[in-house]
C-alpha cells in the first residue's frame, strides 16, 4: 500500500484516535509486530489496511498505511512492520512499548479482500517481506477456508529469520479453535529465501515462471477458470507478478468489479 506520508491539517496536539499497545515482538533487526486495542466502532474486512502512526514533533500526526494482520473477528488489532532506520515513522514506532499509545484512523480500505475475487478453486497468496501481513489476517478468517478448496501461500524473504512471522502463523493455524478444522488438508505453504540457504530458494516470480512451484506442490499451472491470486509486496514485485498473471490470462479485480487477482503494495518506508 501507499508509503506516502500523510499529515492531517486539522490535527490538534491532543492525541486523536488513540489506541493502547498491548504487546510487541521483535523478529529481526528489520522486522517487528505489535498488537493494540481495537476501537469498538472499527469494522473491517480481512485484508484491508488502515492509517496508523504517532504524533509528530510538530504536533501533527505522522501516519502510514498498514495492513491489519489480525482477522476481522479478533478483539485486538495486530500489525507487522519493517524498521527503517531513518524512516520518519518506523524509526520511532519500532521502540513502542506495551501501555504506550499509537494513533489509528478507523477507516479501513483496500483491494486485498475476498469480495474482489470471483469464485474459484484455489487461492494463491503471494507475498514478499511484510507483504505477508494482510494474509495473516485472511488466513485466520473462516471465510477464506469456506470459499476455497486449496490455499497456497508463497512467502519470500531474504533470509530464514525474516520468514519467522509467517511460519509461526502457518504452524499455529491447525490448532486455531475457530478455523483449525477448516484448514485441514487445504493449506500449501511455500516459503523461500533469496539470500540465505534454506529448504527452498528463489524469488516467487522465478518459481512461478520456471514452473517449479507447480511441480513441487503437484498443482497444475495457473488457470483463469480455477485460480485466484492475491499479491502483496514491493512495487517492483507487484509489477513483475502482474506481468506473469496477465500472461496466464488472469485479470485484475476490484471491489466494484471482482476478477481473478488483486494487488496491494506492502508498507515499505
Ligand atoms: P532478492 O533478495 O533477490 O532481492 P526486501 O527485503 O528487499 O523487501 O525483499 C524481500 C524479498 O522480495 C527478497 O527475497 C527479494 O529477493 C524479493 N524481491 C524483491 N524484488 C522482487 C521482484 N521484483 N520480484 C520477485 N521478488 C523480489
Q: What is the DSSP letter of 70?
A: S
Q: Mean per-residue pLDDT for 23-29?
A: 97
Same domain? For 53 and 21 the reply is yes
CB distance 158 to ligand 1 below 6 Å: yes
Span 117-149, pLDDT tens digits: 999 999 999 999 999 999 999 999 999 999 999
Best CA proximity match to 70, nearest among 104, 120, 118: 104
Among candidate residues 84, 108, 132, the one where a domain is terminated: 108
Distance CA 231, CA 265 (A): 8
CB distance 266 to ligand 1 below 6 Å: no
User: 258 lies in which domain range?
Assistant: 114-263
Among candidate residues 61, 85, 108, the one where a domain is terminated: 108
Distance CA 16, CA 19 (A): 9
Same domain? For 31 and 131 the reply is no
Give every CB contact of residue 162 below 8 A, 6+ residues apart in sequence.
27, 28, 30, 31, 129, 193
pLDDT of residue 36: 98
Q: Check: CB of residue 14 under 8 Å from CB of residue 20.
A: no
Cell of 183: 484448514
* Residue for grid cell 486523536: 16
pLDDT of residue 11: 45
Same domain? For 152 and 257 the reply is yes
Same domain? For 175 and 241 the reply is yes
Distance CA 202, CA 193 (A): 6
* CATH number of the domain to which 217 belongs: 3.40.50.80
Q: Quick one: pLDDT band at residue 57, thresholds 50, 70, 90?
A: confident
How many residues are recorded in the chain?
Answer: 269
119 CB burial (10 A radius; 0-12, 13-18, 19+): exposed
Q: Whose CA is nearest to atom 1 of ligand 1?
A: 194
Task: Note the pTM of the prediction, 2 decimals.
Answer: 0.93
Q: Which helix (H) or strand (E) holds 21?
A: strand 18-26
CB distance 121 to ligand 1 below 6 Å: no
CB distance 232 to ligand 1 below 6 Å: no
Q: Which atom of ligand 1 is nearest to the CA of 192?
A: 14
Cell of 123: 487461492
| Structural domain count of the chain | 2
Same domain? For 175 and 239 the reply is yes
Q: Whose CA is nearest to atom 8 of ligand 1?
A: 129
Same domain? For 92 and 176 the reply is no
Among candidate residues 108, 140, 166, the one where a domain is terminated: 108
Span 138-181, pLDDT tens digits: 999 999 999 999 999 999 999 999 999 999 999 999 999 889 99
Look at 159 and 11; give whichever has higher pLDDT: 159
Residue 26: Cβ within 10 Å count: 12
Amino acid at each position: 500500500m501507499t508509503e506516502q506520508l500523510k499529515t492531517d491539517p486539522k490535527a490538534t496536539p491532543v492525541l486523536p484516535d488513540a489506541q493502547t499497545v498491548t504487546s510487541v515482538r521483535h523478529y529481526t533487526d528489520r522486522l517487528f509486530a505489535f498488537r493494540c486495542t481495537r476501537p469498538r466502532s472499527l469494522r473491517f474486512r480481512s485484508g484491508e489496511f488502515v492509517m496508523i502512526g504517532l504524533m509528530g514533533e510538530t504536533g501533527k500526526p505522522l501516519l502510514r498505511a498498514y495492513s491489519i494482520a489480525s482477522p476481522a473477528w479478533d478483539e485486538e488489532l495486530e500489525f507487522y512492520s519493517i524498521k527503517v532506520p531513518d524512516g520518519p515513522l518506523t524509526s520511532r514506532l519500532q521502540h513502542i512499548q506495551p501501555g504506550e499509545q499509537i494513533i489509528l484512523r478507523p477507516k479501513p480500505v483496500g483491494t486485498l479482500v475476498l469480495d474482489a475475487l470471483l469464485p474459484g478453486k484455489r487461492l494463491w497468496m503471494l507475498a514478499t517481506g511484510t507483504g505477508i501481513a494482510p494474509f495473516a489476517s485472511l488466513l485466520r478468517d473462516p471465510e477464506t477456508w469456506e470459499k476455497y478448496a486449496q490455499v497456497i501461500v508463497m512467502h519470500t524473504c531474504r533470509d530464514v529469520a525474516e520468514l519467522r512471522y509467517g511460519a509461526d502463523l502457518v504452524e499455529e493455524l491447525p490448532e486455531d479453535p475457530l478455523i483449525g478444522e477448516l484448514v485441514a488438508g487445504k493449506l500449501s505453504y511455500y516459503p523461500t529465501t533469496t539470500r540465505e540457504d534454506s529448504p527452498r530458494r528463489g524469488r516467487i516470480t522465478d518459481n512461478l515462471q520456471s514452473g517449479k512451484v507447480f511441480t513441487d506442490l503437484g498443482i497444475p499451472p495457473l488457470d483463469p477458470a480455477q485460480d485466484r491470486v492475491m499479491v502483496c509486496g514491493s512495487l517492483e514485485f507487484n509489477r513483475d507478478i502482474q506481468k506473469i498473471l496477465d500472461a496466464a490470462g488472469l485479470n485484475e479485480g476490484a471491489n466494484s468489479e471482482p476478477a481473478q487477482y488483486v494487488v496491494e503494495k506492502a508498507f515499505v518506508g
